[in-house]
A and B are shown apart, each in its own frame.
Chain A
Amino acid sequence: MATSPPPGVLPGAKAVRISAEDVTVFCDFFYKKTGISMDASRRYFIDRRLEDRIAANECRSFREYLALVKFQPGGSEMQALINEMTVNETYFFREDYQFTCLTKRMLDEIAVHKIAGRDRIRIWSAPCSTGEEPYSIAISILENWSRASDFDIEIMASDIDTRALGRARNGIYQARALHRVSQRIRDTYFRQIDADNWQVVKDLRDSVDFGVINVCDPAQMARVRGIDVIFCRNLLIYFDDLSRRQTAEHFFDALNPGGFVALGHSESMSRISGIFLPRKFPEALVHQRPLT
């Protein structure tokens, strides 16, 4: 990397510098689009990425770039910016006690209100990032829920980041990403494609329905209905209070009565919204849309 130009500088181009005011304008705009609340403490992170995008588009100023992002037909630069700004960290079987809770408790409760052989069960991983979470959910169900073959089970997975979604659909992971995956599971659900890479087997890839959804976009969220379990982990930490509350309300609407939401371990629904019932299972605390 020593020979590459400094961040934000195309070879031969002059760097556009970002001012404190630009950052404020940008954070406000980005928040309105994504719900993600970034503050000046992340200045370094924001500046670098913005400068990169400005240079890539050969814009002469931050203002010119912002106009491009706002008014470009098709919105591809907005998408590129989102892909750049999101934090996609995730791994297989992250916080797996929640998957144990899914297969030991939540699914059995959901199944009580369904008719075997006829009804479907819908599980939604939002956000799914590069796919490790929905594949972990699928494997957990196949491995650990004895009634899996009684129902049609749909796993839906979405993210705002299209680049992460592309990787999720491909399902190719480096060996070190599989460190929490036992050898037996790896040999059953993955196939080695070269020395360092494994791919999720086609059947499993085909069983997850990936899509772009911004959970802060009411129109997109209005199209998601009839879900039984939502995994929304490590997303709300990037939101401010208002977007968290709005997201909780959207989830309520997306769920069937009696459906569950599982949040990340550092995220607390009680501090966000009172519309869900806390359900304390031995494995995990989850949140339920009341049955009536």
Chain B
Amino acid sequence: MGLVKARAAGNGAAFDAAPEDAPRLDHPDAVQRRRAVQALAGDADCVDKLVTLLRVEKESLVRQAAFLLLASLNSREAARGVSVLLSDADAALRNGALETLAAMPDHAGPLLASLGQDEDADVRIFAVLLAAELQDPAAADWLVALAAHETDANVCSNLAEALGGTGRIEAAAALTAIGTRFAGDPFLGFAVETALQRLREA
């Protein structure tokens, strides 16, 4: 007893664990499902399988592993697959999708155009949040363009906040346009004013 050296002790040194077989994705135990998710790395249909799983998986442990694998793929296909989840009814899933897209900016940026045309205002809101996360000039251009015609008040309040963070002069005109479009809405008026203030300070 006391301090012993693993390799000298012989029995199953922890640095030399034997490879484990991958369990099934529908295993009843979340820890095993998580391992099944990890084992998908390198699988040709990895993105499809992960997105399908994420639609039904409730355990955060498993979801996080799936999102992490998608983020590490850092591909156009992975970004597309994840973006579909932005319209899911589950808010935690949508947030996970947003975070994952933000982790692959090169592939998420090009999706903004189509997300901005989605009929579902919630998807457009997530697209705005994503653009704010990406913090690159193309995303800022896209925010300005969306602000020119967006008519949903909730999307516009998110747009106001995102535009305020761009530090762009063109954003001021887009913000003023939102203010005019919703002249009777005191909350939006306030959001626009705050964003303009931030731009002035930047």
A positions within 8 Å CB-CB of B: 117, 120, 122, 124, 138, 141-142, 148-156, 158, 204, 206-209, 211, 213, 218, 222-227, 241-242, 245-246, 249, 253-254, 273-275
Contacts and interface: CB of A to CB of B under 8 A. Distances in A.
A134 to B, nearest CB: 11
Interface string B1-44: 11111111100111111011000000000000001001001000
B18 to A, nearest CB: 8
Interface residues of B, number: 28
A242 B64 CA distance: 12
6 contacts: A152-B1, A152-B4, A225-B14, A241-B103, A242-B72, A275-B64
B91 to A, nearest CB: 15
Interface of chain B, helix or strand or loop or mixed? helix
Contacts of B153: none
Given A154-B6, A207-B5, A209-B7, A223 B72 contact: no
Interface string B158-171: 00000000000000
A226 B15 contact: no
B1 A150 contact: yes
B65 interface: yes
A156 B13 CA distance: 10
Nearest to A147: B1
Contacts of A273: 64
A156 B2 contact: no
Given A206-B5, A209-B6, A242 B103 contact: yes
Nearest to B60: A274
Nearest to A220: B15
Nearest to A141: B3
Contacts of B9: 120, 152, 154
B14 A124 contact: yes
B46 interface: no
Given A154-B14, A158-B15, 20 more contacts: A120-B4, A120-B9, A138-B3, A142-B3, A148-B2, A149-B1, A152-B2, A152-B4, A152-B9, A156-B6, A204-B3, A206-B5, A218-B41, A223-B17, A242-B72, A242-B103, A246-B72, A249-B64, A249-B68, A274-B60
Interface in B46-71: 60-61, 64-65, 68, 71
Contact of B4 (A154, A242, A246, A249): A154
Interface string B67-86: 01001100000000000000
A27 B64 CA distance: 27
Nearest to B13: A209
Contact of A224 (B1, B15, B60): B15
A207 B7 CA distance: 10
A275 B37 CA distance: 15
A21 to B, nearest CB: 18
Interface of chain A, helix or strand or loop or mixed? mixed
Contacts of B38: 249, 253
A240 B130 CA distance: 19
Contacts of A208: 5
A273 B15 CA distance: 24
A245 B35 CA distance: 16
Contacts of B72: 242, 246
The 9 closest A-B pairs by CB, nearest first: A225-B17, A207-B3, A154-B6, A209-B6, A152-B4, A149-B1, A226-B14, A223-B17, A149-B2
A201 to B, nearest CB: 12
A222 B6 contact: no
B2 A226 contact: no
Contacts of B41: 218
Nearest to B20: A222
Nearest to B67: A245
A209 B5 contact: yes
B5 A226 contact: no
B90 to A, nearest CB: 16
A246 B3 contact: no
B71 to A, nearest CB: 6
Interface string B81-106: 00000000000000000000001000
A249 B38 CA distance: 10
Nearest to B17: A225
B72 to A, nearest CB: 6
A103 B72 CA distance: 37
